[in-house]
Structure 1
Amino acid sequence: MERDTLSCFISDHEGFYGTIKNSPQDFVVIEMNTHGQLVNSPNVQEEHTKRPQQSQANKKGDQLKPSKPDDTDILNQDSFDLNLILGPAMNEELEHFTNKMRANPNEICDQEKAELSLGTYPDKHLRAVVHRAVRYNFPFLQTLTDQSEIRVREDPDFKELASLASEGEAEEFFRFIDAKVPGSVFTFLPDDSKEHRTSVHHFVSRRFGKLVETKSFTDQQKTSITVRLRERSKQPKKRTIADCQEEEVTLYTAFTLRKENLETLEAISYMAAALGVLPSDFTYAGIKDKRAITYQAMVVKKISPERLLEKVSEFERRGMQISHVRPVSEPLKLGRLQGNHFDLVIRDLKPHGKHGLAELHQLVKEAVENVKTRGFVNYYGPQRFGSGSCVQADQIGLALLKEKIEASVKLFFTPEDGDDLQNKAKRHFLLTGNAKESLALMPAYKARERLMLRALHRYGSGQEGCIRGWLSLPHSMRVFYLHSYCSRVWNEAAKYRLQKLGLKTVHGDLVWARCETGLKTTTEELNAPQVHVVTSEEEKDDVFSLDQVILPMPGNSVKYPENLLGQWYQDRLAQDGLGSCRFRVTPLKLNVPGCYRPLLAKPQNITYSLRTAEEPSLSLTFDLDASCYATVCLGEIMNRNLS
Structure 2
Amino acid sequence: MLHSFSYVTDHTGFCGTIKNSPSDFVVTEIEVTEHSLRDTQAKSLQKPVETLLGQSSPGLALGAQPSGLCAQDCDGGEMPKPAEQEPHWAGDNCPASPYQNRHEDKAELKPGLEDASVLDSLLGKPMNELLSKFACNLKHMWNSKSDANSGTGEFSLGPILDKKNRADLHSAIRQKFPFLVTVTKDNEMIVKGNADYRELCQLVTEKETSDFFKFLDAKLENSTFSFEPDGNKEHRKVVHHFINRKFGKLVETKSFTVTDVSDQQNMSIMVRFREKGWSRKRPAGGVQEKQDLYTAFTLQKENLETLEAISSLAAELGVLPSDFSYTGIKDKKAITFQPMVVKKVTPERLKEIGSKLEKKGMKIHNIRSACQHLRLGQLKGNHFDVVVRDLKHHSHDSSADLKKRISEAMESVETKGFVNYYGPQRFGQGQNVQTDQIGLALLNEKMVKAVKLFFTPEDTDDPVNNAKRYFLQTEDAKGALVMLPEFKVRERMLLRALNRYGVNHEGCTKGWLNIPHSMRIFYVHAYCSKIWNEAASYRLKIYGSKVVEGDLVVSEETDESISLNDKVHVVTAAEESANKYSINQVVLPMVGHSIKYPSNKVGQWYHERLSKDELQACRFRVSPLQLNIPGCYRAILKNVQNLSYFLEGSEEGIEDNHLNESNVCLHISFDLDPSCYATICLREIMKCDF
TM range (shorter): 0.5 to 0.7
Aligned position for 2:506: 464
The yes-or-no answer on 1:443 pairing with 2:496 is: no
- Please tell me the root mean square deviation across aligned C-alpha atoms, in Å: 3.3
TM-score of the two chains, using structure 1 as the length reference: 0.66
Secondary structure at the counterpart of residue 255 of structure 1: strand
Q: Write the distance in 1 (CA, Å) between the matches of 2:288 and 2:420.
A: 51
- Which residue identity does 1:463 align to in structure 2? H
* 1:293-308 mapped onto 2 (5 Å cutoff): 293-308=335-350
Offset of residue 435 of structure 1 = 0.6
Q: Structure 2: how far apart are the matches of 1:451 and 1:583?
A: 25
CA distance in 2, matches of 1:453, 1:596: 36
User: Any stretches of 5+ residues in structure 1 without a counterpart?
Assistant: 40-44, 56-233
Counterpart of 1:594 in structure 2 is 631
The answer (yes or no) to whether the contact 1:315–1:321 under 8 Å persists in 2 is: yes
| CA separation of 1:527 and 1:382: change in aligned 2, threshold 3 A | closer
Q: Does 1:479 align with 2:521?
A: yes
Q: 2:641 aligns with which of 599, 604, 626?
A: 604
Deviations 1:185-219 (A, max 9, x none): xxxxxxxxxxxxxxxxxxxxxxxxxxxxxxxxxxx
User: Residues 625 and 53 from structure 1, CA distance in 2 versus in 1: closer, same or farther, beyond 3 angstroms?
Assistant: closer
CA distance in 2, matches of 1:542, 1:46: 36
Task: Compute the displacement of 1:22 (Å).
Answer: 0.3
**C-alpha distance in 2 between matches for 1:325 and 1:431:** 46
**Equivalent residue for 2:410?**
368
* Shift in Å, 1:419: 1.7
Distance 1:537 1:294, change over 3 A: same
1:293, distance to aligned residue in structure 2 (A): 0.5
In structure 1, the partner of 2:222 is none
Residues 537, 588 of structure 1: alpha-carbon distance in 2 compared, 3 angstrom cutoff: same
Matched, 1:570 2:618: no
- Offset, 1:277: 2.0
Counterpart check, 1:539 vs 2:576: yes
SS in 2 for 1:338: strand
SS of residue paired to 2:348: helix
Q: Alpha-carbon deviation of 1:567? A: 0.4
Q: Corresponding residue for 1:324? A: 366
Tell me whether 1:21 sits opposite 2:63 in the alignment.
Answer: no
> Aligned equivalents of 1:285 and 1:612: distance in 2?
36
**CA–CA distance in structure 1, aligned partners of residues 394 and 644 of structure 2:** 22
Structure 1 match to 2:684? 636
Q: Does 1:281 align with 2:323?
A: yes
Q: Secondary structure at the match of 1:470?
A: helix
- After TM superposition, list the pairs within 5 Å mapping 1:247-286 onto structure 2: 248-286=290-328
Q: Secondary structure at the match of 2:481?
A: helix
One-letter amino acid matched to 1:32? I
User: SS at 2:487's partner residue?
Assistant: coil
Give distance in 2, aligned partners of 1:335 and 1:480: 20
Identify unmatched segments of 5+ residues in structure 2: 38-157, 169-276, 654-662
CA distance in 2, matches of 1:434, 1:339: 44
Match of 2:672 in 1: 624
Q: Tell me by how many angstroms 1:470 deviates.
A: 0.6
Query: Does the 8 Å CA contact 1:16/1:639 hold for their aligned counterparts?
Result: yes
Matched, 1:422 2:420: no
| Contact 1:51 1:327 survives alignment (8 Å) | no
Q: How does 1:120-131 map to 2 (within 5 A)?
A: none
Q: Choose which of 380, 387, 401 in structure 1 pairs with 2:422.
A: 380
Q: What code does the residue aligned with 2:535 have?
A: A
CA contact (8 A) 2:22 2:333 kept: yes
1:562 partner SS: coil
Structure 1's 441 and 335: CA in aligned 2 closer, same or farther, altered over 3 A?
A: farther
| Cα 1:536/1:268, change in 2 over 3 Å | same
Q: CA deviation at 1:246?
A: 12
Distance 1:418 1:36, change over 3 A: farther
Return the alpha-carbon distance in structure 1 between the equivalents of residues 616 and 36 of structure 2.
44
**Hey, what's the Cα distance between the residues in 2 that align with 1:566 and 1:480?**
25
Separation in structure 2 between the aligned mates of residue 37 and residue 630 of structure 1, nearest angstrom:
28
1:20 maps to a residue whose letter is I
CA distance in 1, matches of 2:159, 2:367: 11
The structural deviation recorded for 1:360 is 1.2
Q: SS of the residue aligned with 1:344?
A: strand
User: Partner residue of 1:121?
Assistant: none
How many Å apart are 1:597 and its aligned residue? 0.2
Matched to 1:560, the amino acid is: Y
Aligned partners of 1:356 and 1:246: how far apart in 2?
Answer: 69
Identical counterparts, % of pairs: 55
Report the equivalent of 1:455.
497
Asked whether the 8 Å contact 1:51–1:328 carries over to 2, the reply is no
- Tell me how far apart the structure 2 counterparts of residues 246 and 575 of structure 1 sit (CA, whole Å): 51
CA distance in 2: counterparts of 1:627 and 1:420, whole angstroms: 33
Deviation at 1:274, TM superposition (A): 2.1
Q: Match for 2:435: what amino acid? A: A
Alpha-carbon distance between aligned partners in 2 of 1:378 and 1:33, rounded to the nearest angstrom = 21
- Distance, in Å, in 2 between the alignment partners of 1:37 and 1:430 is 53
CA separation in 1, counterparts of 2:430 and 2:594? 31
Q: Deviations over 1:201-253 (max 9, x none)?
A: xxxxxxxxxxxxxxxxxxxxxxxxxxxxxxxxx999x9x99xx9996521100
How many residues matched? 452
Q: Residues of 1 paired with 2:321 and 2:395: CA distance?
A: 50
1:513 is aligned to 2:550: no
Residue pair 1:35, 1:338 contacting (<8 A) in 2 also: no
Q: Please, which moves more after superposition, 244-253 or 28-37?
A: 244-253
Matches within 5 A, 1:96-495: 248-334=290-376, 336-353=378-395, 359-495=401-537
Structure 1 residue matching 2:614: 3-state secondary structure: coil
CA distance change for structure 1 residues 641 and 47 in 2, over 3 Å: closer, same or farther? Answer: farther
User: 1:384-411: per-residue Cα shift (whole Å, max 9, x none)?
Assistant: 1123521111011111111111111111
Distance 2:313 2:544 in 1: 48
Q: What is the letter of the counterpart of residue 7 of structure 1?
A: F
Query: Residue 331 of structure 2: SS of its match in structure 1?
Result: coil
Residues in 2 aligned to 1:469 and 1:565: alpha-carbon distance in whole angstroms: 37
The separation in 2 between residues aligned to 1:37 and 1:318, in whole angstroms, is 33
User: Match of 2:31?
Assistant: 33
1:9 corresponds to: 7
CA contact (8 A) 2:620 2:628 kept: yes
Mean alpha-carbon deviation: is it higher for 16-25 or for 272-281?
Answer: 272-281
Residue 497 of structure 1 contacts residue 565 of structure 1 at CA under 8 Å; is this kept in 2? yes
1:528 partner SS: helix
CA distance, structure 1, for counterparts of residue 578 and residue 15 of structure 2: 40
Between the aligned partners of 1:291 and 1:396, the Cα distance in structure 2 is 22
Contact 1:555 1:582 in 2 (8 A): yes
Q: Which has the higher contact order (CA 8 A, sep 6+)?
A: 1
**Change in CA separation of 1:38 and 1:323 when aligned onto 2, cut-off 3 Å:** farther
Partner secondary structure for residue 670 of structure 2: strand
The aligned residue for residue 193 of structure 1 is none
TM-superposed CA distance for 1:525, in Å, is 7.3
* Distance of aligned partners of 1:561 and 1:320 in 2 relative to their CA distance in 1, 3 Å threshold: same
**2: CA distance, partners of 1:490 / 1:53:** 37
